[in-house]
Amino acid sequence: MAGTDKQRQQLRENMMLEGSLPRVITKMAFPSIISFLITSIYNLADTYFVSGLGESAQAAISVNASLDQIIMMAGSMLAVGAASYISRLLGAKDSDKASQVLSTAFFTAVLFGAVVTVLGVSFMHPMVRLLGATDTCEQFAVEYATYVLLVAPFMAANFVMNQCLRAEGSAMLSMVGMGFGGILNCFLDPIFIFNFNMGVKGASLATAISKLVSFAILVFPYVTRRSVLHLSVRRFRPTRDIVTQVVSVGSSSMFRSGLAVVSAIVLNNIAGGISDAVLAGIGVSTKVMMFPFGIILGFGTGFQPVAGFNWGAKRYDRVKDSYRFASRAAIIGALVMGLTLALLANQLIGVFAKSDQSAEMLAIGALCIRLQCLVLPIHGWVAVVNMFCAGLGNARGALLLSTSRQGTCFLPIVYPMSWAWGAYGVAAVQAVADLLTLILALPLIRRVKRQIQAAADAQAAERSAPGGEAA
């Protein structure tokens, strides 16, 4: 088994250090993109099947998207931080410590998920009201949260395993785990909602079962030792070094998720204060935009371990080349996707607009899609810069960008825009926040490039010094 592990690690090392960067990044990104797309599909599946129950039921699904983000908050911190550190450790050929990082992040995520379960079940009604549920959709929101809360520990652990599989180069396994769960959800939704007449609660049960199946698939390579990394309780080592490395990089993702929760709650309360139709329209448009966002994020997660591995191996030329390819590909891809979705905005929202109140829902949802598509290339490039910072262990830069889009650039403008333009201001706020984020990203990428060049210059000086390695 040890020989097999070494062979897999050597093959991965050769691919990361010598393979064609466009080919390696694409190979790493493709399973991640497919995984995110399938996840987007099953998130939309709940919305689609529930749409037959009315706009209040749809609004409840939008409200509970914030619950998913709460579960994601610590899970993503541990996942992103652990994956970044694992990539660098594997680049430095320290697989044993990489396994310790995985185990520590995994069991910490399970513990966090359990806390969410206990608190959520204990304070169900106050929780959904806080998340933005109106009087008309509160009961629906409670029904949807019921089963989702019970699987919160598994959901949090899924984030960790998903990212760490990608970090070790096993993106295909990650895709299978997340993808199969998503497809299963699409099949179970109509069975539980309509055949068993469970309504919104049926959508919740379908989601919960899908998350459990994803967990079983993702944990399989770890417990059967088919992974370069090994997961076990005895490798749970929350040492100062591991905690510092994981938290410093991963905190950007946690803050991003936390701010996304706050922003979603604020947006839900503002939109719900106007009407359930506006709340549903914003919610549907958000889930539609998960498709291009998922592709961009999937591409970024494919690029991040490549940049991190080469940074750990001190291959600074490949670090720079990987960024150039990733940023160009993200911008071009975002242009194509943005144009396509903008042209189809009315049709996409129309799929979910099935009630007498659908006109307002259609107008607001379509406007929201078109405005976000307009700035989608900016979002794509900023996402690559964010992943670049995370991959290189630049915690401060990753934190800055992660907290800007739905935090520092979003929250200060959401109330003024809603007061000034009502539902139209609510629809436009995310696009404006994306423009403001660009202003922060431009000087940051210049500093990161200088950091890489300084490391390359120091390496060259060391090699040319007497007694150093020949250039």
Kindly report, residue by residue over 354-404, the tens digit of the pLDDT. 655 578 888 999 999 999 999 999 999 999 998 888 778 787 888 788 788
Report helix angle 55-91 to 240-274, nearest 10: 160
pLDDT of residue 109: 94
Rounded distance between C-alpha atoms, residue 1 and residue 3, angstroms: 5
Q: Which residue has the higher pLDDT, 218 or 93?
A: 218
In a domain, 114, yes or no: yes
pLDDT of residue 355: 58
In a domain, 20, yes or no: yes
pLDDT at 1 over 50: no
In a domain, 464, yes or no: no
- The residue-averaged pLDDT of 75-84 equals 85
Separation of first and last alpha carbons in the chain? 37
Range from 40-44, 216-220, 284-288 carrying the lowest mean pLDDT: 40-44
In a domain, 470, yes or no: no
Amino acid at residue number 232: S
Rounded distance between C-alpha atoms, residue 333 and residue 291, angstroms: 12
Kindly report, residue by residue over 431-466, the tens digit of the pLDDT. 999 999 999 999 999 999 998 999 888 888 888 777
Q: Provide the pLDDT confidence category of residue 471 given band limits of 50, 70 and 90.
A: very low
Residue with tokens 């919305």: 47
Kindly report, residue by residue over 311-323, the tens digit of the pLDDT. 888 899 999 999 9
Do 76 and 370 meet the contact criterion of CB atoms below 8 Å apart? Answer: no
pLDDT of residue 225: 76
Q: Which residue has the higher pLDDT, 239 or 465?
A: 239
Q: Which domain holds residue 314?
A: 2-455
In a domain, 462, yes or no: no
Rounded distance between C-alpha atoms, residue 279 and residue 274, angstroms: 8
pLDDT at 468 over 90: no
pLDDT of residue 212: 96
Query: Percentage of the chain with pLDDT > 90?
Result: 39
Kindly report, residue by residue over 38-59, the tens digit of the pLDDT. 777 767 777 788 877 777 787 7
Rounded distance between C-alpha atoms, residue 178 and residue 262, angstroms: 26
Q: Which residue has the higher pLDDT, 24 or 390?
A: 24
Q: Provide the pLDDT confidence category of residue 8 given band limits of 50, 70 and 90.
A: low
- The residue-averaged pLDDT of 65-78 equals 81
Rounded distance between C-alpha atoms, residue 70 and residue 77, angstroms: 11
Kindly report, residue by residue over 333-360, the tens digit of the pLDDT. 999 999 999 999 999 888 877 655 578 8
- The residue-averaged pLDDT of 183-201 equals 91
Q: Provide the pLDDT confidence category of residue 252 given band limits of 50, 70 and 90.
A: low
178 to each of 114, 189, 297, how far by Cα in Å?
A: 21, 17, 15
pLDDT of residue 257: 72
pLDDT at 5 over 60: no
In a domain, 25, yes or no: yes
For residues 438, 439, 443, 448, the Cα torsion angle rounded to the nearest 10 degrees is: -30
Please, which contacts does 433-437 make with residues 24 or more away whose CB atoms are closer than 8 Å? 433/404, 433/405, 433/406, 433/409, 434/372, 434/375, 434/378, 434/379, 434/382, 434/405, 434/409, 435/375, 435/378, 436/404, 436/409, 437/378, 437/379, 437/382, 437/401, 437/404, 437/405, 437/409
DSSP character string of 62-94:
HHHHHHHHHHHHHHHHHHHHHHHHHHHHHHTT-
- The residue-averaged pLDDT of 182-196 equals 90
Rounded distance between C-alpha atoms, residue 156 and residue 43, angstroms: 17
Q: Which residue has the higher pLDDT, 272 or 440?
A: 440
Phi, psi of 272 (to 5 degrees): -65, -30
In a domain, 466, yes or no: no
Which residues does 303 contact at the CB level (< 8 Å), separation at least 6? 25, 28, 29, 322, 323, 326, 384, 387, 388, 391
Which residues does 398 contact at the CB level (< 8 Å), separation at least 6? 249, 252, 253, 386, 389, 390
Quote the number of domains for the chain.
1
**What does the mean pLDDT of the chain come to?**
86
> CA quadruple 238, 244, 250, 252: dihedral positive or negative?
positive
Q: Which residue has the higher pLDDT, 451 or 471?
A: 451
In a domain, 30, yes or no: yes
